[in-house]
Structure 1
Amino acid sequence: MRILLVEDDHMLARTMLDMLRENHNTVDWLDDGQQAMNALCEEHFDLVILDLTLPRVDGLDIVKRIRQQGNHVPVIILTARTTLDEKLNGLDAGADDYLTKPFAMAELKARIRAVTRRGSASSPVSGLSVGRLTLDTQTAQLAIDGDSVALPKSEFQILHYLMRHPNQVATRRRLEEQLYGWEQGVESNALEVHIHHLRRRVGKNTIRTVRGVGYMLDSTAAGESA
């Protein structure tokens, strides 16, 4: 999962980055409201964790603008604003959840699980299923017909995205964003290597190449015996 963290408290942000990256996520961090607004207009994220009091553009205005633009990315607000009216304003603007500072990292993890579950209500509580494939999103375990294996982080991130969007073409750029975000260089053939390894696990026809565009998880092939 690719997460955008928008927080101008650098000490808190670094603590959150360490926690979020432990859970097989790619996390990009910004400390400025205008930069966050630009990023949300130009790039894809699976979740936004958003402070309200930010330089240049307030977090509440960011939520309002992206919802007006039809962007339905899940948003969890983090803020020191604790009054009921302020919480209601955040939720009414389009946020999916609201967590006041200070908070425990365990609670943030639980809120993330709850918010992402809502976006895939037809999936099992802790995972995704497409055909014979079941992916536990908490442990990165892939089960196929009862046999289970722990996926390396890169393979998990790619398969997680493809299983959340079966039968939809994922561009090469979109998948590389899941792997690298903004902070790491992209090796020229790294994506192909990870796709090759995944195909050996799930079947060659399950992940289709759309020439010149990217890759797609074929739900029909995923339901067929190897």
Structure 2
Amino acid sequence: MPTTARPPTGSSRSLLVVDDDARVRTVVSWQLEAEGYVVREAADGRAAWQGITEHRPDLVVLDLSLPGLGGLDLLRRLREAGDPLPVVVLSGRSGEGDRISGLDLGADDYLVKPFSPGELAARVRSVLRRSGGTGVPRPAPATGLRVDPATREVELDGRPVQLTAKEFDLLAFLVAQPRQVFTRAQLLDQVWSSAPGWQSEATVTEHVHRLRHKLGREHVATVRGVGYRFEP
């Protein structure tokens, strides 16, 4: 049964759950709906492709063993088209080769069945944080700042701003969660996927300094003694 101890966190983001097992779809959907997400389902690859093109979810939970258009083929089709849609693979294939194939094709995470619904929800939250959560442009009207995760473009007062790949990742992560404070260690974990001690927290400080130089100091605020937050 799904766990419901956490308060809803989905903020009406839409997810597509793709699995040919109706029981798995039901358990996953219950868990994610309890987290506050809007969930659609598909039982095969072709229905999943139709759901992606017609409804454009913010993330796909994808089984690999699907009738017709397989999960790996669906993932390959997305990535060959240049589509950055976040995908979390949920598969009964536990072999290292299948895991590597899925990640090499562009899966954002890979979870093996049997699985914990709570862990799946946590991984969905993590992938959405890293990706900015959606391909829809995220304007911040009060500041004139526009961040588009799909095209990785940034505009300030209508003018394009050139950012490095990691500067963009950091900005998109903060913009997706306005006014939420993150420590440098949390940002290293979420943006750099760096384990504790692997990378200096000064890396975060330097990237924040660069963002402020390009965007102005008012967009990324320092919370003294804690970390940083985006000010909408």
Compute the TM-score of the two structures, normalised by the length of structure 2.
0.53
Matches within 5 A, 1:140-159: none
**Which residue of structure 2 lines up, in the alignment, with residue 56 of structure 1?**
68
Among 18, 23, 30, the alignment partner of 2:30 is 18
Q: CA deviation at 1:124?
A: 4.7
Among 114, 123, 132, the alignment partner of 2:126 is 114
What amino acid is the match of 1:58? Answer: G
Structure with the greater relative contact order (CA < 8 A, sep ≥ 6): 1 or 2? 1
Determine the C-alpha separation between the residues in 2 that align with 1:25 and 1:114.
14
Determine the C-alpha separation between the residues in 2 that align with 1:111 and 1:99.
9
**Which residue of structure 2 lines up, in the alignment, with residue 159 of structure 1?**
none
What are the Cα deviations for residues 134-165 of structure 1, in whole angstroms up to 9, with x where unaligned? 479xxxxxxxxxxxxxxxxxxxxxxxxxxxxx
Q: Secondary structure at the match of 1:37?
A: helix
Q: Answer yes or no: is 1:86 the counterpart of 2:106.
A: no
Q: Secondary structure at the match of 2:85?
A: coil
Structure 1 residue ranges without an equivalent (≥5)? 137-221
Structure 2 residue ranges without an equivalent (≥5)? 1-12, 133-169, 182-230
Matches within 5 A, 1:198-213: none
What are the Cα deviations for residues 11-37 of structure 1, in whole angstroms up to 9, with x where unaligned? 121111111111111000010111111
Query: Which shows bigger deviation, 8-17 or 48-57?
Result: 8-17
4+ residue segments displaced more than 2 Å: 120-125
Among 27, 33, 43, the alignment partner of 2:55 is 43
Q: Secondary structure at the match of 1:128?
A: coil
**Which residue of structure 2 lines up, in the alignment, with residue 128 of structure 1?**
177
**Which residue of structure 1 lines up, in the alignment, with residue 14 of structure 2?**
2
Determine the C-alpha separation between the residues in 1 that align with 2:51 and 2:28.
19
Q: CA deviation at 1:117?
A: 1.4
**How many aligned residue pairs are there?**
133
What are the Cα deviations for residues 38-65 of structure 1, in whole angstroms up to 9, with x where unaligned? 2223331100000001111100000000
Determine the C-alpha separation between the residues in 1 that align with 2:54 and 2:73.
17
Q: Secondary structure at the match of 1:29?
A: strand
Among 34, 37, 40, the alignment partner of 2:46 is 34
Identity of aligned residues (%): 37
Determine the C-alpha separation between the residues in 1 that align with 2:109 and 2:174.
21
Query: Which shows bigger deviation, 84-93 or 112-121?
Result: 112-121
Determine the C-alpha separation between the residues in 2 that align with 1:64 and 1:40.
14
